[in-house]
Amino acid sequence: MSFGAAVPTVGIGDLTDENFLLDVREDEEWDAGHAEGALHIPMSEFVARYGELTEAAPQDGRVNVICRSGGRSAQVTMYLVQQGIDAVNVDGGMQAWEAAGRPVVDAKGQPGVVV
């Protein structure tokens, strides 16, 4: 899914374990499988919970936004950029994350799946 040059994007291969990751998928998607250490704020609750992001995000670092395939995270990325936050959309989302062999855990910390 491509959103053009307007949405800053990063590939899975450019991310390291130290990068801050914001997952904007819904609860049932998160529970089935997510990147360990990611901050979870569903897109449907994002504006109301925006303060959680500003508290958790690195002050001088980038926010890497991820969803299932890249559509929702692109929307959140554009919102963050408009707020003056250094944010990028993770190209291909959790589907690309899983396909690249990156670890996915469920709500109990066990091996998970992307739904």
* Banded model confidence at residue 2, pLDDT cuts 50, 70, 90: very low
Beta bridge partners of 105: 34, 111
Sign of the four-CA dihedral 95, 99, 101, 106: positive
State the pLDDT at residue 101. 97
Write the pLDDT tens digit of every residue in 45-100.
999 999 999 999 998 899 999 999 999 999 999 999 999 999 999 999 999 999 99
Tens-place pLDDT, residues 4-52: 558 999 999 999 989 999 999 999 999 999 999 999 999 999 999 999 9
Closest CA to 96 of 31, 26, 9, 19: 9
- What is residue 33's predicted lDDT score, i.e. its pLDDT? 98
Q: Looking at residue 1, what is its pLDDT? A: 44
Q: Helix, strand, or coil here: 39?
A: strand
Q: Do 93 and 70 meet the contact criterion of CB atoms below 8 Å apart?
A: yes
Q: Which residues are catalytic?
A: 67
- The DSSP result for 78-91, as a single string, is HHHHHTT--EEEET
